[in-house]
């Protein structure tokens, strides 16, 4: 016969929960630095596997493909796919399922990548890009996010913070299951689509840097990245395009690109000799 937990037993149970959550918190902290971002060498907290990222990315891609008007063929599709594949070949990372899509929305200046290798470019962005090199700058930036596993990193940091929050809630007697929402928060659910990541400024700069290097290695002029962002600066300053909503300021971004340009130009010159 089971006995109900008496009120006097509750503090003891709560202490056990607190110690258990504290143990998990310590385990997560010990996992910091278990991944290294390519090209920059930055240590990352990574608590999710590439396969888990791929699964989340595929789920989100299905939603986008269902809800958006995706262009299936035509010159814009051919251009985006050719540029994307060329850059992905240079990246030469195993385990990614690179696919490049064009979304028919001429009013939206946007592009995004999902964990695992799905990249979406809006026709509105293609409208403002002045050359294939500028399109390459955008696609390379998005590939940079994927290569650096920024989605998994953001989820990992959210999980880590969530464990600490759970410990505090348990101490206060609140046992609500908020930890189950961690992945949704990390991948930006509540935005237009699930799993579209609101990257941090640090991750944006890192994707800029990686993108600059891989577009140059693929034979695209890295200076086009600067000209593209200069064009974006002129786009409706009263209401920045969606693509800029979580990005660093244009001036800071261009300054960082200029700082990295000498190395990128070396890659570019080498690619032209091949």
**Residue 2 CB neighbours (<10 A):** 4
User: For residue 156, what pLDDT band results from cuts at 50, 70 and 90?
Assistant: confident
User: For residue 247, what pLDDT band results from cuts at 50, 70 and 90?
Assistant: low
- Report the C-alpha gap between 159 and 197 in whole angstroms: 15
3-state SS assignment for residue 267 = helix
- Is residue 258 annotated as a catalytic residue, yes or no? no
Q: Is the pLDDT of residue 269 over 60?
A: yes
Looking at residues 74-79, what average pLDDT do you find? Answer: 97
Q: Are 71 and 127 in contact (CB under 8 A)?
A: no
User: Hey, what long-range contacts does 65-70 have (CB within 8 A, 24 or more apart)?
Assistant: 65/101, 67/193, 68/103, 68/104, 68/105, 68/120, 69/103, 69/104, 69/105, 70/101, 70/102, 70/103, 70/104
pLDDT of residue 187: 40
- Report the C-alpha gap between 110 and 83 in whole angstroms: 17
**Residue 254 CB neighbours (<10 A):** 20
Q: Is the pLDDT of residue 172 over 80?
A: no
- Report the C-alpha gap between 218 and 85 in whole angstroms: 10
Q: Is the pLDDT of residue 202 over 50?
A: yes
Q: Are 246 and 199 in contact (CB under 8 A)?
A: yes
Among residues 79, 142, 153, 204, the one annotated as catalytic is 142
**Residue 217 CB neighbours (<10 A):** 23
pTM of the entire predicted model? 0.76
Q: Are 46 and 149 in contact (CB under 8 A)?
A: yes
Instruction: Provide CB contacts within 8 A for 95, sequence distance 6+.
Output: 50, 54
Looking at residues 222-248, what average pLDDT do you find? Answer: 75
Q: Is the pLDDT of residue 267 over 70?
A: yes
User: Hey, what long-range contacts does 26-29 have (CB within 8 A, 24 or more apart)?
Assistant: 28/159, 28/160, 28/163, 29/160
Q: Is the pLDDT of residue 168 over 50?
A: no
pLDDT of residue 184: 42
pLDDT in tens, 84-120: 999 999 987 777 889 999 999 999 999 999 998 999 9
Looking at residues 28-37, what average pLDDT do you find? Answer: 64
User: For residue 169, what pLDDT band results from cuts at 50, 70 and 90?
Assistant: very low
Q: Is the pLDDT of residue 38 over 80?
A: yes
- Report the C-alpha gap between 208 and 192 in whole angstroms: 23
Q: Is the pLDDT of residue 166 over 60?
A: no
């Amino acid at each position: 016969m089971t006995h109900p937990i008496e009120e006097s037993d509750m503090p003891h149970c709560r202490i056990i929960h607190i110690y258990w959550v504290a143990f998990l918190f310590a385990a997560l902290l010990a996992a910091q630095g278990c991944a290294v971002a390519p090209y920059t060498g930055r240590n990352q907290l990574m608590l999710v596997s590439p396969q888990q990222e791929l699964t989340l990315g595929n789920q989100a891609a299905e939603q986008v493909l269902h809800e958006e008007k995706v262009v299936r063929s035509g010159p814009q599709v051919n251009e985006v796919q050719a540029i994307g594949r060329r850059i992905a070949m240079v990246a030469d990372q195993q385990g990614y399922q690179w696919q490049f899509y064009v979304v028919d929305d001429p009013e939206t200046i946007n592009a995004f990548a999902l964990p695992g290798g799905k990249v979406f470019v809006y026709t509105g962005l293609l409208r403002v890009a002045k050359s294939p090199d500028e399109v390459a700058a955008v696609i390379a930036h998005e590939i940079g996010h994927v290569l650096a596993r920024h989605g998994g990193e953001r989820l990992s940091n959210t999980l880590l913070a969530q464990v600490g929050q759970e410990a505090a809630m348990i101490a206060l007697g609140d046992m609500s299951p908020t930890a189950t929402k961690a992945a949704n928060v990390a991948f930006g659910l509540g935005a237009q689509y699930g799993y579209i990541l609101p990257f941090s400024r640090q991750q944006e700069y890192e994707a800029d840097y990686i993108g600059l290097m891989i577009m140059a290695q693929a034979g695209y002029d890295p200076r086009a990245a600067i000209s593209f962002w200069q064009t974006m600066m002129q786009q409706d300053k009263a209401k920045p395009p969606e693509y800029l909503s979580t990005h660093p300021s244009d001036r800071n971004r261009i300054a960082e690109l200029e700082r990295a340009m000498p190395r990128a130009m070396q890659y570019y010159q080498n690619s032209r000799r091949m």
